[in-house]
Amino acid sequence: MDAIFELKNINLYYGQTQAIKGIDMTIERNKVTAFIGPSGCGKSTFIRILNRMNDLIPECKIDGNIEFEGQNAYAKDYDVIELRTKVGMVFQKPNPFPMSIYDNIAYGPRCQGVKNKAQLDEIVEQSLRRSALWDEVKDRMKESAMGLSGGQQQRLCIARTIAMEPEVILMDEPTSALDPIATQKIEDLIVELKELYTIVIVTHNMQQAARISDNTAFFMLGELIEFGATDKLFATPQNPKTEEYITGRFG
């Protein structure tokens, strides 16, 4: 197995409250890993550990061993900006910048010093092609991104992440605000993108996890209850708590 993340004995606290309890996990490169579990189970907290988004919360403390591509991602001298470039993120609600479609994609590369117009054009086109949005927006690149539909906005956000040439794309409920057709487009896209990137997705939609992911992690009350191949987890879960949750007998 080609591991991109190795997490060992991860504990995370918000003040006095322990939100993640002693979790070990290996995330495979070029696979889709889905996190499922009831609200408040720690899955969103856990995905944010992967690109150190929790650093932004003052009372949040974390311990354990987090290796990204063999390096301690929480080491004092580890470049967080570099980590967040390599580990991009897409959120539940599409959040395009209030600027043109082109500028949304070019924003990141520009911040990193890419000034050459031809080079930017190439990055924008390639990112929009990879996010399956190019054909829909190629003639309206100067229009505001806010005018796109919700599904298009979400694919734009994925394109914006891709423009940074990440290794990993984290997605926190990326389709929960979208209609079924837009959801299907994102799901198809995820399956295509795993050829190039490692994808970790938090989803409340269990059928979605079953459809698109290779591995699934089931969280409950800050613990990792079961983690393994998606096909196995949904057909023959090993833990009765997983069985109860995925068959709707949880409560």
Partner 1 sequence: MANIKIDADLSGIYQSLGRMMTLVDEAIVDMIMALKKRDLKLAERVMDRDEQINAMEIKIDHDCILFIARNQPVAKDLRTVASVHKILTDLERIGDITADVCKAIITLKEFAYSEIDEEIVALAEDVRKMVGDSVRSFVNEDLKGAYDVIEYDDTIDQAYYRLKDKIVLALKVQTDTMQVNSLVSQLTIAKYMEKLADHAQNISEWIIFTVSGEYKA
220 scored as a contact of partner 1 (CB under 8 A) = no
Which of 16, 17, 39, 207 binds partner 1 (CB under 8 A)? It is: 207
Q: Of 35 and 68, which has the nearer Cβ to partner 1?
A: 35
Report, in Å, the least distance between residue 214 CB and partner 1.
Answer: 16
Q: Of 5 and 234, which has the nearer Cβ to partner 1?
A: 234
Q: Of 65 and 239, which has the nearer Cβ to partner 1?
A: 239
How many C-alpha atoms does 112 have within 13 Å on its Cβ side? 15
210 scored as a contact of partner 1 (CB under 8 A) = yes
Which of 60, 132, 206, 221 binds partner 1 (CB under 8 A)? It is: 206
Fill in the per-residue mask, 224 to 243: x = in contact with partner 1 (CB under 8 A), - = not in contact: ----------xxxx----xx
Report, in Å, the least distance between residue 250 CB and partner 1.
Answer: 6
Q: Give the angle subtended at the CA of 246 by the CAs of 200 and 189, to the nearest 5°.
A: 35
Q: Which of 70, 72, 201 is nearest to 80 (CA)?
A: 72
Q: Which of 221, 51, 215, 29 is nearest to 62 (CA)?
A: 51
Return residues touching partner 1 (CB under 8 A).
Answer: 206-207, 210, 234-237, 242-244, 246-251
